[in-house]
Structure 1
């Protein structure tokens, strides 16, 4: 949220009950904040065949299509990084990973379904906190692109 404040990007903030640093699945998060599950997104980090890291933002109830993800970033293949690597690579823990404010900027692609919404909701960088902002504002801030990324949208 500090990054959004500094950039002057309007957003809404949601918080939800959780048990310490225990990750809560995205569908439950949507229910706890009272928002449509299709509008709540999760942030996934992958490593490509080139050994570069890539970030994908998809609806919480969907599964990343690894072939579509690889094609979206021009890689031969991508694979999810191990959860033990997440904090070292991004600075975030599982369940609190946000496409905003990572340690380094990684190429980011958001599922094309986000463009159907005026705003989307995703992690604010810690478990128990979510932000809502326009997909175009996210694209401007992290220089992301949009592409079909889920098994359902392919």
Structure 2
């Protein structure tokens, strides 16, 4: 079996003596979503977290980690980050700001440490899956360890699920 190529994320975790495991998967340029990654990994999308970078009107860049199948609630994102509004960063600006490309963005090891917020649902898992800093490679790590390493806070960040009952939206 081929040895996993160490990414900067893995080197940072090693240096800080934080336990993690890795999982590789086949990615597709046509679908770089976290849901696709979860399916390829055979994992619940709720445990595979995607990293989104936003721009706050007061704070500048802010980072949000949410379950791959969920949508970021921009009002909640703004509120917890001390902003009046937050807009998601355009993909073309991602590499220059973070050092990562779409589909390989991790909250660990960005060019600069930005305020980071992790959806509180992460706390129900012993380990969550995050990008290892490259497409097709994930690290599974305890959410508390990630938060301590990058000085992240846990908040409720996602849109409420809509349930249909007898054809009505609740």
Q: TM-score, length-normalised on structure 2?
A: 0.86
> Which blocks of at least 5 consecutive residues in structure 1 are unaligned?
none
Return the alpha-carbon distance in structure 2 between the equivalents of residues 22 and 92 of structure 1: 18
Greater C-alpha Rg: 2
Q: Which of 84, 90, 106 is matched with 1:82 structurally?
A: 90
The residue that corresponds to 1:97 in the other structure is 105
Q: Which of 6, 14, 17 is matched with 1:8 structurally?
A: 17
The residue that corresponds to 1:70 in the other structure is 78
Q: CA deviation at 1:28?
A: 1.2
Return the alpha-carbon distance in structure 1 between the equivalents of residues 46 and 31 of structure 2: 19
Deviates more, 1:47-56 or 1:92-101: 47-56
Give the 4+ runs in structure 1 shifted more than 4 A.
none
Report SS of the residue matched to 1:54: strand
Return the alpha-carbon distance in structure 1 between the equivalents of residues 55 and 45 of structure 2: 27
Return the alpha-carbon distance in structure 2 between the equivalents of residues 27 and 47 of structure 1: 24
Contact 1:10 1:133 in 2 (8 A): yes
The residue that corresponds to 2:150 in the other structure is 142
Aligned-pair Cα RMSD in Å = 1.3
Return the alpha-carbon distance in structure 2 between the equivalents of residues 22 and 31 of structure 1: 15
Q: CA deviation at 1:49?
A: 0.7
The residue that corresponds to 2:62 in the other structure is 54
Aligned residues: 152
Q: Which of 17, 38, 46 is matched with 2:46 structurally?
A: 38
> Which blocks of at least 5 consecutive residues in structure 2 are unaligned?
1-9, 162-170
Return the alpha-carbon distance in structure 1 between the equivalents of residues 133 and 144 of structure 2: 19
Which structure has more RCO (C-alpha within 8 Å, separation ≥ 6)? 1
Identify if the C-alpha distance between structure 1 residues 55 and 4 changes in structure 2 by more than 3 Å, giving closer, same or farther: same
The residue that corresponds to 1:130 in the other structure is 138
